[in-house]
Amino acid sequence: AYAIPEENGRITCISSMQNPFDVYNKVVKILGLPAEKIRVIQAATGGGFGPKSDETQIDVAAYACLAALKTRKPVLSVFIREESVTVQCKRHAFIIENKTAATEDGKLVAWKSTLYEDTGAYISKGHLVIARATFHCTGPYEVPNVWADGYCVLTNNTMAGSTRGFGAPQAHFAAEVQMDILAKKLRMDPVELRAKNILIPGSLTATSQKIDDSGLEVCFRKAVEESAWHQRRREYEEFNKRSMYVKRGIGIALLYHGNTLGPEGEDFANVHTRIERDGTVIIQTGLTEYGTGAITSLAIVTAETLGISLKNIRVERPDTSAVTSAGPTVASRTTVIGGQAALDAAKQLRSRLAE
């Protein structure tokens, strides 16, 4: 983080991050300054993967701003590799116990999960991660009876926090292992077992969300077809009978993941759009770009709505002094939530131009 003291007493902080307003609000609180005395700008950020929406980005920004406040000189705060490895949040370790009940022909009828999440010495986002992991405990399968208990446990281990998938990968890994064990016990092909229970339009998830899209089923069947699953499985079984030391195998795993925040927070976004005298359309938002290209979707939506070329649109860097909060840039929500805000803004601008 780079902090620059200004003549009016304000401190401008430029730093690599996912959520400028989260950093802004916490730095204001840490330094005890009036809100107008802190300005946060997202630096070019090449990769976030979750940890850049967590505590470390707040810490490094606060260090720089505090030093700039005391010295009235520009300050650069950087973690050396050892410090970064020590304090940057890691993916949560889990212990997951699954019990399943199924009919003889492989139809799931009940599922019980107990999930223990090691969040380290500080809770960070642990209470939210365990919730999402618990939601996904049955994997992408329809089960009429589900009992799930999730525990976020504080330990003396390194702090864990926000990482890509946010608890779902751990839950899905355990669920898929469980499905393979069940298939073996029932003497069923793992693909056949999954096909009997996969979420399809009309199915209910463990939290009673009704599925209205067939994408998972289409993807699943295409993967089975393209991999020549049944042929390879027979070939490998014959090979493994002949080979004592070298073994071959083929596996399949399914998952689904809820985009946007859901019960984890308020899902909103703000996009500010204006036209310059030369006809350039400027887009400003608190949502950030960190290598995914998602911010470009806001420009595409705006260009199509206004009927102009994409080259006539410029997206400004996120700046807390120029825009209002757009919520966090996490959970693949930029295009879904931010895109809708960009659409609304472009429609309003188009209406004013028509007047």
CATH code that applies to domain 93-242: 3.30.365.10
Contact yes or no for 300/315 (Cβ under 8 A): no
Q: How far apart are CA 350 and CA 306, in angstroms?
A: 6
CATH code that applies to domain 2-86: 3.30.365.10
- Reported as a single tens digit per residue, the pLDDT across 31-82 is 999 999 999 999 999 888 888 999 999 999 999 999 999 999 999 999 999 9
φ/ψ of 291, rounded to 5, equals 110, -10
Q: How far apart are CA 18 and CA 20, in angstroms?
A: 6
Residue 266, pLDDT > 90, answer no
Using alpha carbons, select from 225, 260, 223 the residue that is nearest to residue 341: 260
Write the class of the CATH domain 263-354.
alpha beta
Amino acid identity, residue 312? Answer: N
- Reported as a single tens digit per residue, the pLDDT across 294-330 is 999 999 999 999 999 999 999 999 999 999 999 999 9
Q: How far apart are CA 174 and CA 180, in angstroms?
A: 10
Rounded mean pLDDT of 280-289? 97
Domain 2-86 shares a fold with domain 263-354: yes
- pLDDT for 60: 95
> Contacts by 9-12 with C-beta closer than 8 Å and gap 24+?
9/37, 10/36, 10/37, 10/38, 10/39, 11/37, 11/38, 11/39, 11/65, 11/68, 11/69, 12/39, 12/40, 12/41
Contact yes or no for 345/298 (Cβ under 8 A): no
Domain definitions of the chain by residue range: 2-86, 93-242, 263-354
